[in-house]
Structures are given as structure tokens and as C-alpha cells.
Amino acid sequence: MSFELPAAHRELLERARATGDEVRSRAGEADAATDVDPVMRKALQASGLVQVTVPAAHGGASETVDPLAVTVVREAFGGVSAHLDSLFAMQGIGSYALSVAGSPRVQEEWLPRVVAVEAVAALCLTEPDVGSDLRSITTTVVERDGELVLDGHKSFITNAPAAAFFTVLAKEEAGFSLVFVPADTPGVMVTSGPDLIAPHVIGEVRFDGVRVPLDSRVGQPGQAFPLVLQTLATFRVSVAGSAVGLAQAALDEAVRHTTGREQFGSPLARLGPIPQMLGTCWMEVEQARLLTYSAASKAAQDPQGALHWSSMAKVAATETAGRVADRCVQMMGRFGVVTGSTIERLYRNARPMRIYEGGNEVLLGQLAKTLTRPAR
């Protein structure tokens, strides 16, 4: 059995690395931004890489979205810029349900714009009082006078200040529905923030009597959760790819520092505990990479059937990224805590990964339920 990436995915990884290298000098500025950085957006548009987040029927790269393809692009981007990584990933996460179950009107009008990064996508799930427990949301949608009417408040929504549209989870009678809402629809109000320890394009979205056509409902009434699950099953493993890329970038910084700086007549990489710390980091990065590629390959075959593998990879890789980044800061000593340095930015960017797309403790609890479920 080979654990090497297929040739097509290796080529995709190299394309993504080349795009990342083009904008590396912009990464610090972009990662501090709270609105979409125009240089990053232009580079992403020129790369054509967003095609892997949308099915071919709507301008994408393959018949169905390939989780392994998304994952390797995020690996390359995650080591360069959290801003670039998020902008790429959210084009898929925010539009996936539309590509699966959106009306022909919505698909034809909006998905090609997603691929071209002309329309920035956003997915509205969480609310001020609701995080992982999505069945407790209070946002509602009702049919009235031949339209859908949406009311509610969503919070911590990635891309909210820049989004061209929102895919919104709302209660509908006894079930839950997804609704497509253009950002310029009357009654939609967006505010930026809050500020995060790793700056992010994020905001609050309020829907006050927002009216949209009936064909803006995504899928069947009251049947949103299978679509949400499909989205998570397809894209969760890609978070692991981003975490692997970040951990590798942190290790590269530590290797550069410890081999280029001497103390007591010897390179730091040969002194005290530094060799063991470097070796441990390398081992953990490669462990995480192998599990991530394996999980993404399984998700490419059967996203929902492999969701437990995607969850394991997400937890393992993001925890690894946190440990590796912390260890690398320590190896770099005072140079590791300089504001504005690459390692400082990577250290901060690593922390939110353990929370978004499913908090790691929540995912571990779900894995335990899967592991202990009685055999049928």
C-alpha cells in the first residue's frame, strides 16, 4: 500500500505552493485584516484553484468536490496565510449546499461567480447563544404570500462583512431549512467583529423580515441537517490539511533559526534539548500529514461514511499544530515572541483551529459515541 499522493494531487499541491509563494510577502498584512485583502483575492482568482471547491457542472474541476484536492490546497495555503486559506476554503463551505440542492436559478446565477471569486460565500449556522448545538437555533423561516420570510441573528460568521450571499440555517415548522440570501437583500444587516486573537474576516448578521423567492430554499423544507452534514463531511478534513501546512511552516522557521544561530560555539540545533524538540516536531508533523491524507482519501470515496476519519484527522492535526508552533516559539527564544514575526503569526493562527469546524472536545465526544455504538 502506498501513502504517496496521486500525481494529480501532487501537481495541485505544487500549484498551490506557487500561489502561496507569490503572496508570501503580503501574508502578515493580510492576516491582520478584517476585510478581504485585495492582493490575496486577486492571486486566488488568477490561480484557478477555487475550481476544486465546486462541482464541474457549475464551473468546478471535477464531477464532485474532492476532499483530498481541497485538503492539499489548504496545506499549501495554511503554511503561508490564514487569510488566503480561509478565503479559499469558505468559497466551498459557503456554497456546497447550493451546488448539491440549490435551485437551478441560484446555481446558474451564483456558482460560476463563486468559482471566479467574484462572489464571496458565507455559511450562517451559529448564533449568539448557539454554537455546536445547532438544533437550538432561534432564526426562523416561514412561507408567506408566495415568499420565504427570514428572521434571526447569526454570529461569528466567517466572511460576513465581505459576503455576496449567505447560506442560512433556520427553523421551519418542526424542522430546519437552509435558505439562500443575497447580502444586498432588504432587511439584511451586517456588522464586523468581534476582534479575534488571530484576526479574521468575521461578523454578525441580522435578518429582519427578509423576503426571498420560494426557490431560495436549499433542498426540501425541514431537511437541512443532511445538507449541513454533507458540507462538514466534505470539508472538515481540509482543516487538518491547513493545520499540517501551518505546523510545517512553524518547523521550517525553527530549523532556519536553530541551524543559523550559534551559542557556545555550536549551532543551536546541536545544543541541549533542541535536537529532541526538532525531531519530535518533525515526527508529529509527518504523523498528522499521513492521517490527514488517509482521511481525505477516504472522504473522497465516501464523505459521510468517512466522517469519523475526517474528525480524527481534524483533531490530531490541529492539536499537533498547536504543540509544534508552541515548541518552535520556545526553540527560537526571544526571537519567537517578537510581534509581527512569522512564527508569532503562526502561533496565533494555530489556536483557533482547535475550535472552528467542530471544537475538538465535541468531535472527540462524537468519536466516542461512534466507537461504542452497539453493533447492528
Confidence of residue 4 (pLDDT cuts 50, 70, 90): confident
Q: Per-residue DSSP letters for 241-284?
A: HHHHHHHHHHHHHHHHHHHH-EETTEEGGGSTTHHHHHHHHHHH
Confidence of residue 374 (pLDDT cuts 50, 70, 90): confident
Considering the entire predicted model, what is its pTM? 0.96
Q: Looking at the predicted structure, is the pLDDT value of residue 255 above 50?
A: yes
Position 164 in a domain: yes
Together in a domain, 37 and 85: yes
Which residues lie closer than 8 Å to 316 by C-beta, 6 or more apart?
Answer: 240, 287, 288, 291, 292
* CA 210 – CA 206 distance, rounded (Å): 9
The residue out of 120, 148, 169 marking a domain boundary is: 120
Residues in the chain: 376
Closest residue by Cα to residue 182 from 121, 91, 104, 118: 121
* CA 235 – CA 358 distance, rounded (Å): 11
Q: Grid coordinates standing for 5? A: 499522493
Confidence of residue 150 (pLDDT cuts 50, 70, 90): very high
Tell me what the pLDDT averaged over the chain comes to. 96
| 158-211 residue pLDDT tens | 999 999 999 999 999 999 999 999 999 999 999 999 999 999 999 999 999 999
Total domain count, the chain: 3
* CA 116 – CA 95 distance, rounded (Å): 13
Together in a domain, 359 and 248: yes
Confidence of residue 131 (pLDDT cuts 50, 70, 90): confident
Together in a domain, 107 and 206: no
CATH of the domain at 311: 1.20.140.10
